[in-house]
Structure 1
Amino acid sequence: MSVADKLTARLPVLGDRGERKDVVAVVKLHGVITPTPSPLARGSINLAGLESALTRAFGHERLKAVALQINSPGGAPTQSGLVAERIRGLADEKNVPVLAFAEDLAASGGYWLACAADEIFAHRTSMVGSIGVISGGFGFTGLLERFGIERRLHTAGANKSRLDPFSPEKPEDVEWLKKMHGQLHELFVAWVRERRGERLTDSEDLFTGDVWLGQKALDLGLIDGLGSLRQVIEQRYPDAEIAVAEPKKPLLARLGLGAPAAASAVLDAVSTKAAWSRYGL
């Protein structure tokens, strides 16, 4: 038998409907949640990049459920909301259950995504939660002075240059940022309460931004059970096959081209590493 014949023999027979099985589609939500793509292996999560995978996942003819395989330290709140809302829209349209599975981490925006599911599962060592808001940056005013660099900034609008990293930090700007954080935190809490409902406990620590391992997350009502994706799917849908829905890659990415500029890549790498490092990963 030739190599081509051996490969062909391994392919499924498309016309044989008698052998077709029910399907549980898996969508991988791995990486930092950001509107910009990442050059790193851990990748990034945003609606533009996931649209094709979500469409494929919910488009299977014999679909029994969709599983979200989550490994994310969070990131941009808007992209978290957009992806979660798209998942809910497709789930309601197709009338199929959605199950979320936390791997190493489903924190902050990663947990926001998990709440798009009807049920959430985690490994006993998974880190879950971090229901809060954070932002960070650097101040370069001392660096400019050291090298004798003059900062020239011209604006129209009193608040246009808020939190400019090359200007001294102003207390009123910090207060403005804290109010913005507070509003985003309220939206996050409301989403979790909407999706988790009475499964949540009344713990005072629930919305402090803390993160917990699997069993504690279960005790708090943040998840519904302990177990891996394969374990739970095999128990729930023993006759179904698991089909991973991969997003379409842009042509340049498939050719290995279109990498970002070196300086941008370095900054992206530092930012991504910092997001994971907050959880020891």
Structure 2
Amino acid sequence: MLFHTSKLPAEIRVSHLNARINEQRKKIAQTTASKLELLQLAQQLSKEARARKKTNQKIYVLDFKGDTAASAVEQLREEVTLILATAKAGKDRVVVRLESPGGMVHGYGLAAAQLVRLRDAGFHLTVCVDKVAASGGYMMACIGSEIVSAPFAVVGSIGVVAQVPNFNRLLKEKHIDFELYTAGQYKRTVTMFGENTEEGKAKFEEELQQTHALFKHFVEKYRPQLNVEKVATGEHWYGHDALDLNLVDRLQTSDEFLLNLLPQHDIYVIETRRKPTLGEKLGLHAAQVADALVPALMNKFAETLLKANSGSVQLRDPKL
């Protein structure tokens, strides 16, 4: 099933997880099981299909793998829009498999807002964390109706950080002047090249504290059972400790969580794949050609070198 996006050179693929896993089950059984066991498997699959038809509840699975800029938000917003346009709020469910160490405030603010769209529309949202949901990643995770964490997943880091190198002393040593012109008292609080004032640094710290307060308020809104002041220290915890602190609701991998739902629910995995541009295709093709040619050329060069140095001595498949 393909849905083409209008803004990005990408396509959305929807695959039926039940069909994919059941096909694999049958393939394995055909090789390892007896005739009786094959018959029992067929009956079991038929029974599960009837149960799913009776339940008539769909689960949509999204994947979000976050970088510093939260660039995957462009795919997430398209996938969320697709679910809102086709799924039944209050009946169907959404699962997000989330992996992110956090990043830019505005990027993760937008990513979190996409998940809020699902909650506001009435969907039960489960966020599964197998590896890490820290800082901006946890900002997204806390929106879930429930958070499922693997035992050693890294969770938390409810804090704000900013690093600004300053080269002003180096510039002075090299007798280089740096001039900055602004309109507005706090248009620039601290800079990389100018001499930062105590007033500017204090204002910058104040802005960080304001952002931290917004972060804490956001988490508190979606996880009222959490003692935010206790955990909003910038620290992170592994799954077991995160459970004790109410940062997560249960310990389980996303695979186990979905596998338990398979017999009773139709599960659809939504994946967005960006189409490579023509230039990227040409570049990829060139790289593939180079990968194929370079070893052959190196082998030929080595063979020629050996002939020149040792007369008629030849080696087959020389390796350098």
TM over 0.5: yes
- Structure 1 residues 63-72 or 223-232, which shifts more? 63-72
| SS of 2:103 mapped into structure 1 | coil
Partner residue of 1:52 out of 57, 78, 97? 78
Residue 111 of structure 2 is matched in structure 1 by: 83
Instruction: For 1:227, give the aligned amino acid.
Output: Q
1:215 equivalent in alignment to 2:240 = yes
Partner residue of 1:239 out of 243, 260, 264? 264
| SS of 2:138 mapped into structure 1 | helix
Residue 181 of structure 1 is matched in structure 2 by: 208
Residue 67 of structure 2 is matched in structure 1 by: 32
**RMSD, aligned α-carbons:** 3.1
CA–CA distance in structure 1, aligned partners of residues 184 and 213 of structure 2 = 28
CA–CA distance in structure 1, aligned partners of residues 66 and 279 of structure 2 = 19
Give the superposition deviation at 1:171.
1.4
CA–CA distance in structure 2, aligned partners of residues 166 and 78 of structure 1 = 25
Instruction: For 1:240, give the aligned amino acid.
Output: H
Give the superposition deviation at 1:55.
2.1
Residue 179 of structure 2 is matched in structure 1 by: 152
CA–CA distance in structure 2, aligned partners of residues 172 and 253 of structure 1 = 51
Partner residue of 2:226 out of 187, 200, 216? 200
1:113 equivalent in alignment to 2:148 = no
CA–CA distance in structure 2, aligned partners of residues 254 and 247 of structure 1 = 20
Residue 103 of structure 1 is matched in structure 2 by: 130
1:73 equivalent in alignment to 2:78 = no
Q: Deviations over 1:193-235 (max 9, x none)?
A: 11111x3248x63111111010111001111000011211232
Q: Deviations over 1:133-171 (max 9, x none)?
A: 111121122333454433233333343332110012221
CA–CA distance in structure 1, aligned partners of residues 282 and 65 of structure 2 = 22
User: Do the aligned partners of residues 181 and 161 (structure 1) sit closer, same or farther apart at CA in structure 2, a change above 3 Å counting?
Assistant: closer
Give the superposition deviation at 1:73.
1.2
Partner residue of 1:136 out of 163, 167, 171? 163
CA contact (8 A) 2:156 2:236 kept: yes
User: Do the aligned partners of residues 160 and 185 (structure 1) sit closer, same or farther apart at CA in structure 2, a change above 3 Å counting?
Assistant: closer
The structure where helix makes up a greater share of residues is: 2
| SS of 2:243 mapped into structure 1 | helix
CA–CA distance in structure 1, aligned partners of residues 232 and 163 of structure 2 = 20
Instruction: For 1:53, give the aligned amino acid.
Output: E
Residue 3 of structure 1 is matched in structure 2 by: none
Instruction: For 2:268, give the aligned amino acid.
Output: A
Per the normalisation by structure 1, the TM-score is 0.71
Residue 9 of structure 2 is matched in structure 1 by: none
Instruction: For 1:252, give the aligned amino acid.
Output: T
CA contact (8 A) 2:118 2:125 kept: no
Q: Percent identity?
A: 29
User: Do the aligned partners of residues 231 and 160 (structure 1) sit closer, same or farther apart at CA in structure 2, a change above 3 Å counting?
Assistant: same
CA–CA distance in structure 2, aligned partners of residues 96 and 104 of structure 1 = 24
Residue 228 of structure 1 is matched in structure 2 by: 253
Give the superposition deviation at 1:22.
4.9
Q: Deviations over 1:41-61 (max 9, x none)?
A: xxx343x34211222344454
Give the superposition deviation at 1:90.
2.8
| SS of 2:217 mapped into structure 1 | helix
Give the superposition deviation at 1:256.
5.0
User: Do the aligned partners of residues 257 and 179 (structure 1) sit closer, same or farther apart at CA in structure 2, a change above 3 Å counting?
Assistant: farther
Give the superposition deviation at 1:102.
1.3
